[in-house]
Amino acid sequence: MLRNYSISRSRLDCYAKRLWHDEYVIAFFQIVLRLLADLVALAVLAHRPRRSLEAENLVLRRQLALYKERGIKPRRIDAATRASLTLLSRLL
């Protein structure tokens, strides 16, 4: 005696819609976690010595100069980075 374990079409549609929703929830939590990580990094940077910040600034300027010299386009920023930059620009 074999049973038919096939899933109905409506149940598959419901499952697919739920997965679609789950992707947005996962993306939202990734953004929130990245924002929290950026806030922690900002707090750490706020307590660094001035000479350390100046050295990092020099390295970043050199990296930017190399990008311009070689004509390399920087990678596109993701949603979490865009959100953190927006929040920081409004706070500062």
pLDDT band with cut points at 50, 70 and 90 for residue 45:
confident
Cα→Cα distances 92→4, 58, 85, Å: 63, 22, 10
Whole-prediction pTM value? 0.47
**What are 3's two structure tokens?**
């049973």
**pLDDT tens digit string along 15-43?**
556 665 677 888 888 888 988 988 898 88
Which among 3-7, 18-22, 47-51 has the top mean pLDDT?
A: 47-51
Residue reference for tokens 């920087």: 74
Buried-state track 21-47, b at ≥16 Cβ within 10 A, e below 16: eeeeeeeeeebeebbeebeeeeeeeee
Asked whether the predicted pLDDT for residue 55 surpasses 70, the reply is yes
Query: Would you state the pLDDT for residue 6?
Result: 56
**What are 56's two structure tokens?**
């990092």
Q: Domain extents for the chain?
A: 9-91
